[in-house]
């Protein structure tokens, strides 16, 4: 049986895969972390016998393959708002759930995961270093809390950018607007407006003069690459402009050498899937930007007719059959 671990609500890279599992009449079960604590579900972690029983199903015995999609990246239990009088109590109960989920992963550790949760939390800086170790080119980068250090970097690389080290969500402000942090240019003028000599550690990178960006979905050794063609203009962060008519997604064949190095990199970080961002420079070089182990793939899948969601479902079914 295939186990799907995902959100309670709609998730754009889970539900399309489930559609194909239904089409193939595959045996699967979807569980969210809310299902573990909901009173209507019977859940038993049999520690003595290393068993996980869910509504009468022995998952440790029945499950062969696991599709993991951000199952418990931000555990929230709404019922705690009124059930517990202090923030400390709410924190401790949430922490109990997070540690129980870790044991959930442990009990199913011998299954075929796509991907395994332990490896999805690789940070952007570590992935840059390991990509470089695998032979891939990366942007010149630094992280510093020192104004002078960043000024020296910009003097060497006048075309520089800053972006989050990990992730930025959405900030709902009292004025009714919603904000987020995206990639932006940074100049010495920006720094001159900063009055302090020290600030929160900030990631600075050289801005790549690119011909086009490449979005790559990696599926256990297979590459589905899409070139994002933007005629007559360049964007500091193309994600801001995905809906514009002048942006075209084109299936792209990576050079064999780049595929080999990407495969070596993914093996080194123990991931059998991930969404990879690269840039092809005007000089013809390929520059690795980042990997998102549970990144979105629907845009390149549908715009380039890759049918990635179908291929993931087929992979899950194949691995499930092999495990029996």
Per-residue tens of pLDDT for the chain, all 324 residues: 999 999 888 889 999 999 999 999 999 999 998 888 876 899 999 999 999 999 999 999 999 999 999 887 667 766 655 666 677 777 888 888 889 999 999 999 999 999 999 999 899 999 999 999 999 999 999 999 999 999 999 999 999 999 999 877 788 888 888 888 888 899 888 888 888 899 999 999 999 999 999 999 999 999 999 999 886 655 555 555 555 556 889 999 999 999 999 999 999 999 999 999 999 999 999 999 999 999 889 999 999 999 999 999 999 999 999 866
**SS3 for 66?**
strand
pLDDT of res. 15: 96
- Alpha-carbon gap, residue 19 to 115, rounded angstroms: 20
pLDDT of res. 166: 84
296-301 — which CB contacts under 8 Å span 24+ positions?
296/12, 296/13, 297/13, 297/217, 297/224, 298/12, 298/13, 298/16, 299/215, 299/242, 299/249, 300/215, 300/217, 300/224, 300/226, 300/249, 301/217, 301/224
pLDDT of res. 316: 98
- How many Cβ atoms are within 10 Å of 291's Cβ, its own excluded? 25
Among 194, 192, 197, 167, residue whose Cα is nearest residue 182: 167
- Alpha-carbon gap, residue 31 to 49, rounded angstroms: 22
Tokens of 169: 């969500």
| Chain region(s) in the chain for CATH 3.30.470.20 | 210-293
Confidence (pTM): 0.89
Distance of CA 118 to the CA centre of its chain: 13
pLDDT of res. 84: 61
Which residue spans within 38-86 are E strands per DSSP?
Answer: 43-46, 51-54, 57-58, 65-68
**H or E element in which residue 89 lies:** helix 87-107
Evaluated on CA atoms 56, 61, 66, 72, the torsion sign reads positive
Among 81, 223, 239, residue whose Cα is nearest residue 163: 239
Q: Which CATH architecture has domain 210-293?
A: 2-Layer Sandwich (3.30)
């Amino acid at each position: 049986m295939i186990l799907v671990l995902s959100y309670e609500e709609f998730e754009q890279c889970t539900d399309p895969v489930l559609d194909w599992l239904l089409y193939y009449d595959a045996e699967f079960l979807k569980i969210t972390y809310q299902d573990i604590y909901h009173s209507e579900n019977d859940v038993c972690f049999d520690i003595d016998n290393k068993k996980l029983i869910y509504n009468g199903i022995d998952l440790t015995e029945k499950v062969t393959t696991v599709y993991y999609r951000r199952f418990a990246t931000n555990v929230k239990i709404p019922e705690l708002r009124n059930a517990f009088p202090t923030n400390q109590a709410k924190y401790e109960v949430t922490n109990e759930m997070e540690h129980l989920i870790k044991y959930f992963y442990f009990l199913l550790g011998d299954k075929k995961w796509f991907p395994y949760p332990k490896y999805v939390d690789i940070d952007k800086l570590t992935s840059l270093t390991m990509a470089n170790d695998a032979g891939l080119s990366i942007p010149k980068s630094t992280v510093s809390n020192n104004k002078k250090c960043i000024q020296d970097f910009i003097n060497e690389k006048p075309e520089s950018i800053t972006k989050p080290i990990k992730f930025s969500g959405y900030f709902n402000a009292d004025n009714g607007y919603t904000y987020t942090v995206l990639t932006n240019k940074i100049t010495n003028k920006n720094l001159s407006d900063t009055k302090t000599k020290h600030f929160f550690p900030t990631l600075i990178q050289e801005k790549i003069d690119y011909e086009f960006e490449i979005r790559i979905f990696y599926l256990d050794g297979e590459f589905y690459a899409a070139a994002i063609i933007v005629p007559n203009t360049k964007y500091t962060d193309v994600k801001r402009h995905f809906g514009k008519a002048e942006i075209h997604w084109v299936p792209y064949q990576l050079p064999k050498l780049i595929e080999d190095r990407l495969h070596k990199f993914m093996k080194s970080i123990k991931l059998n899937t991930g969404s990879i961002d690269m840039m092809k420079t005007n000089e013809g070089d390929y520059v690795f930007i980042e990997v998102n182990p549970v990144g979105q793939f629907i845009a390149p899948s549908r715009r380039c007719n890759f049918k990635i969601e179908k291929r993931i479902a087929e992979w899950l079914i194949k691995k499930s059959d092999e495990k029996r």
